[in-house]
């Protein structure tokens, strides 16, 4: 893509899309499927690496994009399972440095059933297992896996030549950390830059911090990389209750405010939708939202503290300096 006249607006690369379709997926092979949590956690999260060599996807996937996985078998209606998208968790040149192995972060979905639509049995509390997530977590090295994609053209790092023009704030919850593993590796290890990079990671418990060892090591090795964690269900050392990522940034706005007010800064948000809402509210209250989002007239006279998630979804729009992937 051509360079933007405004140097603060990122120039994104032209992302390859749909090289393998859902109707005609390619077959990859599992290289590794290892836990990416340390300690005992109630969750099961794996770093899944897939060999895509010899397919149209080889060397064509960018960090920030996603790829599709098609689980084998049929659903309860006798139809093939729907494709599930997973964020790429490796640098642009893959896990192997040659673009032959891509990776993602896979969390087993294990829950009880509850009514979601009209006609669902309110008394059904039977165990629900996510089809694709458990299929992927069960895979072993050498196993085949059907893959489509890549998908996504906006949640990307700037073109290589312009990355030094920006500083970066990455905000994640849960498996929303996946793209930031790849982005941090891209910016610090594969094609190092001197820009300031802040990663804010939220988790219920310390044992739920995904890739914690990696990010801790990166922060120790790279003075321009700053790793911040927000733990929501543990009491803090000073006795205060736990905090979500937007609470952490709100409390430390004396630090984050100047970072966000800097026109060089790009903001990336990935994870639960409630995080985006809380973060935008905090930024608006502190006057550092300009440049990252615009507010429609319907919300212009509403105190940001009173914004509801549904209102944020309808009335707040991210600018080119703010990349959002929430669910």
Are 26-151 and 160-326 equal in CATH topology? Answer: no
Quote the pLDDT of residue 1.
47
pLDDT tens profile 64-74: 999 999 999 99
Question: Both tokens of residue 54?
Answer: 């010899």
d(CA 230, CA 247): 8
In 3D space, the residue among 148, 129, 190, 138 whose CA is nearest the CA of residue 55 turns out to be 148
pLDDT of residue 102 exceeding 90: yes
d(CA 209, CA 43): 10
pLDDT of residue 218 exceeding 60: yes
Q: Centre a 10 Å sphere on the Cβ of residue 8 and count the other Cβ atoms it contains.
A: 15
Contact 201, 229 (CB under 8 A): yes
pLDDT of residue 209 exceeding 70: yes
Average pLDDT, the chain: 95
Contact 37, 209 (CB under 8 A): yes
* Coil, strand or helix at 170: strand
What pairs with residue 316 in β-bridges?
295
The Cα-based distances of 295 to 10, 170, 266, 321 in angstroms read 21, 22, 18, 15
pLDDT of residue 128 exceeding 60: yes
CATH 3.40.50.80 fits 160-326, yes or no: yes
Quote the pLDDT of residue 228.
98
When pLDDT is averaged across residues 319-326 and rounded to a whole number, the result is 97
When pLDDT is averaged across residues 239-261 and rounded to a whole number, the result is 96
Quote the pLDDT of residue 302.
93
Domain range annotation of the chain:
26-151, 160-326
More confident residue, 129 or 137: 137
When pLDDT is averaged across residues 165-186 and rounded to a whole number, the result is 98
Contact 103, 49 (CB under 8 A): yes
pLDDT tens profile 181-193: 999 999 999 999 9
pLDDT of residue 3 exceeding 90: no
- As its CATH architecture, domain 26-151 has Beta Barrel (2.40)
Contact 41, 63 (CB under 8 A): no
């Amino acid at each position: 893509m051509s360079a933007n006249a405004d140097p603060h607006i990122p120039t994104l690369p032209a992302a390859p899309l749909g090289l393998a379709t859902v109707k005609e997926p390619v077959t990859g092979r599992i290289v590794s499927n290892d836990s990416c949590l340390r300690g005992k956690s109630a969750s099961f999260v794996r770093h899944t690496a897939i060999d895509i060599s010899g397919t149209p996807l080889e060397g064509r996937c960018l960090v920030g994009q996603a790829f599709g996985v098609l689980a084998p078998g049929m659903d309860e209606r006798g139809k093939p399972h729907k494709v599930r998208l997973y964020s790429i968790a490796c640098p642009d040149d893959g896990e192997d440095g040659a673009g032959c192995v891509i990776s993602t972060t896979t969390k087993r979905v294990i829950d009880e059933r509850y009514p979601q639509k009209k006609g669902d049995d309110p008394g059904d509390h039977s165990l629900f297992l996510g089809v694709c997530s458990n299929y992927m977590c069960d895979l072993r090295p050498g196993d085949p896996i059907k893959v489509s994609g890549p998908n996504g053209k906006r949640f990307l790092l700037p073109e290589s030549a312009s990355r030094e023009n920006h500083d970066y704030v990455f905000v994640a919850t849960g498996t929303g950390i996946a793209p930031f593993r790849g982005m941090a590796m891209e910016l610090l290890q594969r094609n190092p830059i001197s820009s300031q990079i802040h990663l804010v990671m939220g988790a219920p418990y310390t044992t739920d911090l995904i890739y914690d060892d990696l990010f801790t090591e990166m922060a120790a090795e790279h003075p321009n990389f700053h790793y911040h964690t927000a733990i929501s269900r543990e009491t803090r050392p000073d006795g205060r209750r736990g905090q979500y990522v937007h609470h952490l940034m709100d409390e430390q706005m004396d630090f984050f405010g100047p970072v966000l007010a800097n026109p060089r800064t790009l903001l990336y948000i990935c994870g639960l939708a409630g995080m985006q809402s809380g973060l935008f509210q905090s930024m608006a209250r502190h006057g550092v939202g300009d440049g990252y989002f615009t507010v429609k007239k319907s919300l212009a006279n509403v105190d940001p503290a009173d914004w509801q998630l549904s209102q944020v979804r309808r009335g707040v729009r991210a600018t080119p300096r703010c990349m959002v992937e929430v669910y």
